[in-house]
Amino acid sequence: MRTDKLFMIIILGAPFLSASILILFRKRLTKHAGYIAGAGAALSLIAAFSLLPALYTGGEPTLILSWVPAAGIELDLHVDWLTLPFVITEAAVTLLAVIYAWGYHHPVLSTPYFYALLMVFALGMAGTTLADDMVLFYTFWELMLVASCALILFWGEGAQRKAVALKYFIFTHFGSLMVLVALFMLYNITGNDSLSALRDGLQVTQSQVNTITTFFLIGFCVKMAIFPLHLWLPDAHTVAPMPVTIMLAAAMLSMGAYGLLRFPMSIFTMQQMIPFAVPMMIAGVISEIYGALMALAEHDIKRIVAYSSVSQMGYILFGLGTLTYKGIAGATMHVIYHAIVKALLFMVLGIVIHATGKRKIDELSGLGRIMPVTAVCAAIGALTIAGTPPLCIFDSEWLIFAGGFETPYIALSVVALFGSLLTVAYALWLVTRIFLGDRKTEDEVHTPPSPALIIPTVFLALLSLIEGLFPAPVFDWISNELALILGGQW
Amino acid sequence: MGNLFVIILTLVPFTLGAILGISYLIPKTLQRQSQRIRKYVLIATLTVVAISIISLIISPNYQTDIAFSWLPNAGIMHIHLGQSGLFASLLTTAVALVILILGSPFSRMTASLVLIACGTANLAFISNHFVLRYVALEIVGLCIALIPIMEIKGRSGIGAFRRTYLVLRLGDAGFLVAILLMMRYTGTLDIAVALEQSVALPSPTLTWIVAGLVLAVWVKMGIWPIHNWLATNKALSPIANSWMILTVMPNLGLYLLYRIQPLLVASEEIQLFIGWSGLLAACLPALLAILQTGSPISLNYVHAIQGGLALFWATNGAIHLLPFVVYFSLLRMVLYWFEIVTIRKLGTVLLVFSGILMLSFWSYILVANAPSISRSYVTMSFIAFIIILCGVWVIRSARYHSTTIHTTTTDPLSNMLTQRRPRYGFFPDSISNGMNDEHWLYRLMTQNTSDKLSRGLTSLVLGTGQWLYRVVEQGSLDKIVPFISRIVMGSGNQIYRVIEKASLDGLLKWMSRIVQAISHRLAKIHTGKLRLNLIWVTLCIVVTIVALVFQ
């Protein structure tokens, strides 16, 4: 077996194996569950990075195993330049979330289940990106949903967790059904369930393209939490325990963008997608501005950052909607950089909540003096999401806006650009209210943050600066990916 | 050699500033630095920077081949050692040096921000790539916005930070729109080439580009009515107030205006519109300035006057006059703090001297060098009006500085009203409160009773000024930022209530209720009694048969 195939198996196998071990030996592994999950996540990340040389040499590692022979369903895994940035992002976010959970989650009898479900969640995301078969894609897609829903249901915070889990399930399942309908239609037209085969060429009419793309757009926009399909997100992000929130916000939202890139934008040509450019751009701008306004209206710090995800996904949809090289490259970069900054911001909020036990922004003030490192990380996170150079989001926003200005719809791009001032407003408001000003007398730090909370937070703050200063490697990956998008005719 | 000098004037202060800033985070034992050492380090660094700039100015043979690629699809970023950029850089650094030598102590974070701002401002002056300049401007803007947090305790410092940063980002957004449009239509981000090619663009496109650029200049120079971010505060150290807030960004704005000037004169409509906007933006603060004598706020208005006039002259082709604006601004800043900190009498003399220079300069422009548009009677009258008001401001300032003690208040009106004056029946209270019996204006208006017209005019101007201050400045502009923020927050809250909760969540609940109602109804009909189930089965069979028959 070639090493590339081994790495692909490890990407999926490591989280699967660690989840299995945690479930089978849960009583013995209560205290060490986090480390086993961490090892699984680390192995998965290393394996993802190990596939880079194969891609640089022009290869596209593929693994085909027979799954349901009678139905012709195979376990097809495939790695290309579109897959890899997403796989690496998800694996890295999972590892950081697991490390963060070491400091956030006190070991109890059910802890192995918690980490096992985190691993299943990670497995679902990795499988979705690696899948080269519609059935497999959809299976992993639903696995991701079930695992995350179970995490919210059993480990969610507050009395509302059951209702929120149900809402989350119904909403995202509705999106999944839209995707499923589109997949069925594709299968009916082509008679083929291989994604690679779909990319090679498709004989479809424009009306079929319109119908399929509409279903895909609705389905993936639910996952991306684009207005008005975002209603599951603020509640789910708020109720979920912080490590799960980090994975939901930083990794799972990006699956919607991946879906859009993998399906309509990979299998249809530029001409076929042009009718969707303006609706996507308009939906993106509305989501950007609406999410930012909601973030300004909120008082719960987790909900503020949750709504900021709605806004940030708006940027991504806007970039994809431009159908330009720069816009799509920027949107894909934004997925990665949004993962960094959103994980960073939620980690900072986790430290604040863990230390003070408070979530209302009006009850928090002046924490910078007792948490200077966290305050600096929060400031970096706020400036990053505000698009301040030379931090990473500036690079992706630059490309997104540059793509927007290459379209005939310059007024929309100007609105998107000026709308970004709202992002500056809520980011500064959030951080200055929590960390600056006079300390309130009742502000007591119950629990000082442990290294497991601080180390990944500092790492992400540094990463957002490093990525901002040296965006070339990530852009290099993405420019390779663009050859696979919209027929590769740029 | 050119490369070395470029590194010295950009990277060295930036790196030192960053180190100083990071040292704030390390354990307290390592943080103890003598204030004197900190000051000497700053002075030494800025001296080296100034010497490097002078070396580059006097040796035009020194060139740099520093070029690098950073941002995807933004091309190669160059440095250009043009004389105009170097002079602007030298002036800015020199003012920092003078204020540092004369000024009072400052915090470590201020020192760090000064060094970072100095390095990045120099980079902005000498960069020949739009993105590089944009990034440098953003970093300088952030440093300026951070100053209130570092030096003013409590909520007012935080509010000032948010307000300043947002306003500066508004200007940057305009700049970015212009950059992206130029990149689209000229295919380059090289400043010289892009500006040269943009001149030939069709009028609608050029209008968008100029609008973005003028918004950037407007904000950065603090031209009325976007001048409030320049608000001075005596709680700040001299270097923070006079250099960071009142010198660096206005200079960068003016230099941007200097570079984009060819675009402003490329179309007659743009030229006319921006020219008049600049002139009007100079007139109103001129009225306001004379009411604020002796207060730091008056400097904002004088800044705004000069900014508006600079814009006016730029649209009229008088580009060679723009550097004088920097000169006068800087001179006034230095004198202001010099006067406060050290020798009061000498300060007064120098202030008057600078005022006379400024008046001579504007008169010279008015009489000798006025280009075509400014030769019309209307514009000539406007400029004459501004010059007269500026003259009043200079004389009142000189008199104020030589007779009164500075108070720590930053509110100009309360500053004036704290010194109770006798009431003068001839004038409205609002005006007579603003005078004292030794005041030259008072003498002019009361003792020289024969000159009714002069009194009437002066009264009218002062009254209008006060009215403007109350209605426009305090009534509108001072409230506009809180108003906008209330509007944004309020609309956010309204949308949250109406769309998010009442409509979307409400719709969801409504749908869920309907689905539940239907399911309950169906459950009642469908399950339970056998006869009901049998009816359903019969009905289904009938429907199937009917469907098969009529197929």
At B352, list the tokens: 């008057």
Distance between CA atoms of residues B337 and B339, nearest Å: 5
At A470, list the tokens: 């040296």
Segment among A196-200, A231-235, A471-475, B396-400 with least mean pLDDT = B396-400
A18, A283, A452, B551 from A112: Cα distances, Å: 10, 41, 18, 59
Preceding amide of B225 cis, omega within 30? yes
- pLDDT, residue A139, reads 93
**Nearest residue of B to residue A371 by CA position?**
B25
- pLDDT, residue A262, reads 92
Q: When comparing pLDDT for B343 and B420, which is higher?
A: B343
Are B135 and A471 a contacting pair at CB < 8 A?
Answer: no
Contact status, residue A333 vs residue A474, Cβ threshold 8 Å: yes
**B451-502 pLDDT tens trace:** 566 566 666 666 766 676 667 666 666 677 677 777 777 776 776 677 666 6
Contacts (Cβ under 8 Å, ≥6 apart) of A402: A326, A327, A330, B73, B180, B183
Mutation for testing the B interface, residue in A421, A434, A470, A482 having most B CBs under 10 Å: A421
Local confidence band at B138 (pLDDT 50, 70, 90 cut-offs)? very high
Cβ count within 10 A of residue A1 = 7
The CA distance from A326 to the nearest CA of chain B, in Å, is 8
B41, B95, B99, B117, B319 from B48: Cα distances, Å: 11, 14, 16, 16, 30
The CA distance from A332 to the nearest CA of chain B, in Å, is 13
Are A471 and B72 a contacting pair at CB < 8 A?
Answer: yes
Q: Chain B residues with CB inside 8 Å of A437's CB? A: 154-155, 158
Tell me the pLDDT of chain B averaged across its residues: 74
Are B173 and A418 a contacting pair at CB < 8 A?
Answer: yes
Are A372 and B184 a contacting pair at CB < 8 A?
Answer: no
Are B495 and A422 a contacting pair at CB < 8 A?
Answer: no
Are B73 and A402 a contacting pair at CB < 8 A?
Answer: yes
Please compute the mean of the pLDDT values over residues A147-174 and round it to a whole number. 90
The CA distance from B207 to the nearest CA of chain A, in Å, is 13
ipTM for the predicted complex comes to: 0.90
pLDDT value at A161 more than 70: yes
Among the partner residues A297, A428, A469, nearest to B493 by beta-carbon distance: A297
The CA distance from B497 to the nearest CA of chain A, in Å, is 9
Distance between CA atoms of residues A245 and A352, nearest Å: 15
Local confidence band at B341 (pLDDT 50, 70, 90 cut-offs)? very low
Q: Chain A residues with CB inside 8 Å of B500's CB? A: 294
The CA distance from A99 to the nearest CA of chain B, in Å, is 24
- pLDDT, residue B408, reads 37
* Coil, strand or helix at B67: strand
Mutation for testing the A interface, residue in B176, B181, B504 having most A CBs under 10 Å: B176
- Long-range CB contacts (within 8 A, 24+) of B414-419: B415/B294, B415/B295, B416/B291
Q: Chain A residues with CB inside 8 Å of B135's CB? A: 389-390, 394
Contact status, residue A179 vs residue A219, Cβ threshold 8 Å: yes
**A39-89 pLDDT tens trace:** 999 999 999 999 999 999 888 888 888 877 777 777 889 999 999 999 999
Contact status, residue B294 vs residue B402, Cβ threshold 8 Å: no
Contact status, residue A474 vs residue A336, Cβ threshold 8 Å: yes
Tell me the pLDDT of chain A averaged across its residues: 90
Contacts (Cβ under 8 Å, ≥6 apart) of A259: A179, A216, A219, A220, A223
Local confidence band at B383 (pLDDT 50, 70, 90 cut-offs)? confident
Please compute the mean of the pLDDT values over residues B326-342 and round it to a whole number. 58
Are B166 and A326 a contacting pair at CB < 8 A?
Answer: no
Q: Chain B residues with CB inside 8 Å of A383's CB? A: 142
This prediction has a pTM of 0.84
Segment among A171-175, A341-345, B135-139, B239-243 with least mean pLDDT = B239-243
pLDDT value at B405 more than 50: no
Please compute the mean of the pLDDT values over residues A97-103 and round it to a whole number. 93
Segment among A4-8, B302-306, B456-460, B492-496 with least mean pLDDT = B456-460
Q: Chain A residues with CB inside 8 Å of B202's CB? A: none
Please compute the mean of the pLDDT values over residues A355-365 and round it to a whole number. 87
Contact status, residue A123 vs residue A16, Cβ threshold 8 Å: yes
Percentage of chain A beyond pLDDT 70 is: 98
Segment among A274-278, B158-162, B490-494 with least mean pLDDT = B490-494
At B101, list the tokens: 């030598």
**A289-348 pLDDT tens trace:** 989 988 888 889 999 999 999 999 999 999 999 999 999 999 999 999 999 999 999 999
pLDDT value at A13 more than 90: yes
Q: Chain A residues with CB inside 8 Å of B161's CB? A: 428, 432
Q: When comparing pLDDT for B301 and A167, which is higher?
A: A167
Buried-state track A324-340, b at ≥16 Cβ within 10 A, e below 16: bbbbbbbbbbbbbbbbb
Q: Chain B residues with CB inside 8 Å of A388's CB? A: 138, 142
The CA distance from B158 to the nearest CA of chain A, in Å, is 7
Place of tokens 């009718």: A275
| Secondary structure of chain A as H, E, C letters | CCHHHHHHHHHHHHHHHHHHHHHHCCCCCCCCHHHHHHHHHHHHHHHHHHCHHHHHCCCCCEEEEEEEHHHCEEEEEECCCCHHHHHHHHHHHHHHHHHHHHHHCCCCCCHHHHHHHHHHHHHHHHHHHHECEHHHHHHHHHHHHHHHHHHHHHHCCCCCHHHHHHHHHHHHHHHHHHHHHHHHHHHHHHCCCEHHHHHCCCCCCHHHHHHHHHHHHHHHHHHHCCCCCCCHHHHHHHHCCHHHHHHHHHHHHHHHHHHHHHCHHHHCCHHHHHHHHHHHHHHHHHHHHHHHHHHHHCCEHHHHHHHHHHHHHHHHHHHHHCCCHHHHHHHHHHHHHHHHHHHHHHHHHHHHHHHHCCCEHHHCCCHHHCCHHHHHHHHHHHHHHCCCCCCHHHHHHHHHHHHHHCCCCHHHHHHHHHHHHHHHHHHHHHHHHHHCCCCCCCCCCCCCCCHHHHHHHHHHHHHHHHHHHCCHHHHHHHHHHHHHCHHHCC
Q: Chain A residues with CB inside 8 Å of B493's CB? A: 297
Contacts (Cβ under 8 Å, ≥6 apart) of B436: B419, B421, B442
